[in-house]
Amino acid sequence: MAFEQRLTQIQTQKLILSPQIKQYLKLLQLPLLELQHTVEQELAENPALEELPADNTFDQQTDQEAAANEKTQELDFQETFEKLSSLDDELQTTLYSDQNTKLQSLDDLDKKQRYKESLINKPPTLSDYLSSQLGFLELDEQEKKIALHIIGNIDDNGYLTTSCDELAQSLNESSERITSVLLKVQTLDPPGVGARDLKECLLIQLKQYKQDAEAHLAQQILIDHFTLLEKRDFPQIAKVLSMSGEKIEKACALITSLEPKPGRSFVHDEATSIVPDASVYPNDEEEGKYIIDIHDERLPHLRISNQYKKLIKDKTIDKKTKEYLKSKINAAFWFIKAMDQRKSTLREITEHIVQVQSNFFERGFAFINPLRLKDIAARIGIHESTVSRALAQKFINTPHGTIPYKMFFSQKMETEDGSLESQKSITEKMKFLIENENLSKPYSDSKLVTLLKARGIKIARRTVAKYREILRILPSHMRRKK
């Protein structure tokens, strides 16, 4: 079979997004803090785009420009340019209507925050803390090298993540010598560090505990009856050891008082600053109504540079320079329009959420109604993926706290009376039932099915188990307490 090159004509259909649409979608999916950075970057890169000083007013359009705006409907550059001046007035009443001029300068606040952060020393890691204690151990140079290698393989919880055989192979040492050094590392603070599993972690701590009869009994339970301990089957442990239930419970209480993750006190998660993109709060003047604020206080006021407007009208400027000016003014214009459209889209979505989820705003999480992205997309006339972009990584401030927008969306589940219930409201009702159960006889998954059915919610036992795992609630036999 011979291969040859030919030109063929094929008709296909595909969606091509214009640069303006791409820019709008990019800005739409940015949360407020990232959007602020993007605006600042655009200001630095486009000289035709400028920030309006807080104490200034927008320029007034001339009569000639206003007349030109009314006459033309074409989407060419000339029409776009003629609208630039009037756009400033429009943006003042839309983009920045919620601006609080009494707020302290954001630059001053940022400077103060950076200064405070510079005064805070970075806390030591678990690895640093363990390494600093090696001087208290009797180790030769090679053993110190082994100890540092062991410490490097201890995770944030304080557990050794590799075996002694693997360490021996990587260091070309015997497993016996690695184990000997590991036992010394396990004497370091915090107690239980360097263990290979939970049982060893708890035993290390018990050995460092005062050696009385209760501690010895606790060690025996850990070594010989760990499986029964996991099930909290204290009566069976007492029966096997031929001891009173009171002594067993005291020994087990000592075990549960130990630290299962000795390294967690050294885990310092950096606090993530959550800035809500919108706020919803009750309207004091109209009962049952809510006020929606789309936050853009941190964003600078934008306008087209007056200097560039004048330059584009200068007939002495050469063609190449004029083309450059046009491109920059055009880019600035579409950036401002994309910012305006972003705010408008987010407001429309928020308004629909408030309308559908009125029960939540009045009564809380147990009353969230079922809602899908496609429902909002159909309501406001945009694609479902656009709604998803708009709500990604965004938060809303509500009477019940600051929560992700995504929390309002939940699958529909039909109840016995034919009404619809959201997955979120069902999990909240499950959580309420478990929080108020008798700890000596906690509800099994089958019992929860029965209790939910009595409330008109018919779901399978495996669904209850799945929701319980989502809520991070233990099975009934592990919740039982006497």
d(CA 361, CA 314): 57
Q: What is the pLDDT of residue 16?
A: 56
Q: What is the pLDDT of residue 421?
A: 60
Same domain, yes or no, for 373 and 309? yes
Q: What is the pLDDT of residue 54?
A: 58
Same domain, yes or no, for 366 and 304? yes
Count the residues in the chain. 482
- CA 452 to chain centroid: 31
Same domain, yes or no, for 362 and 448? no
d(CA 359, CA 283): 15
Same domain, yes or no, for 311 and 223? no
Q: In 30-125, where does DSSP find H-type helix?
A: 32-45, 63-71, 77-82, 84-94, 106-118
d(CA 36, CA 24): 15
In a domain, 335, yes or no: yes
Same domain, yes or no, for 246 and 218? yes
Where residue 457 sits, what CATH number does that domain have?
Answer: 1.10.10.60
In a domain, 106, yes or no: no
Looking up tokens 């776009």, which residue turns up?
A: 80
Q: Please return the burial class of 177, using the count of CB atoms within 10 Å of its CB with bins 0-12, 13-18 and 19+.
A: middle
Tokens standing for 381?
A: 């006339």
User: What one-character DSSP code corresponds to residue 304?
Assistant: E
C-alpha dist (Å) from residue 191 to 115, 206, 222: 37, 9, 17
231, 261, 291 - which closes a domain: 261
Q: Which helix (H) or strand (E) holds 404?
A: strand 401-404
Q: What is the pLDDT of residue 25?
A: 83
Looking up tokens 């308004």, which residue turns up?
A: 351
Q: What is the pLDDT of residue 473?
A: 83
Same domain, yes or no, for 422 and 388? no
Q: Please return the burial class of 186, using the count of CB atoms within 10 Å of its CB with bins 0-12, 13-18 and 19+.
A: buried
The whole domain housing 401 covers: 19-51+300-409
In a domain, 272, yes or no: no
Please state the domain count of the chain. 3
Same domain, yes or no, for 311 and 373? yes
Q: What is the pLDDT of residues 41-50, one digit of tens each?
A: 998 898 888 8
In a domain, 286, yes or no: no
Same domain, yes or no, for 340 and 360? yes
In a domain, 73, yes or no: no
Tokens standing for 112?
A: 């103060």
In a domain, 58, yes or no: no
Q: What is the pLDDT of residue 359?
A: 84
Same domain, yes or no, for 355 and 305? yes
Same domain, yes or no, for 309 and 405? yes
Q: What is the pLDDT of residue 347?
A: 92
pLDDT below 50 — which residues of the chain? 57-78, 81-106, 109, 111, 115-120, 417-418
Tokens standing for 470?
A: 């989502």
366, 381, 409 - which closes a domain: 409
364, 387, 409 - which closes a domain: 409
In a domain, 215, yes or no: yes
pTM: 0.52
Task: For the chain, count helices (H), then strands (E).
Answer: 24, 8
For residue 280, what are the β-bridge partners? 292
Give Cβ neighbours of residue 455 (< 8 Å, ≥ 6 apart): 429
In a domain, 122, yes or no: no
Same domain, yes or no, for 314 and 389? yes
Same domain, yes or no, for 361 and 325? yes
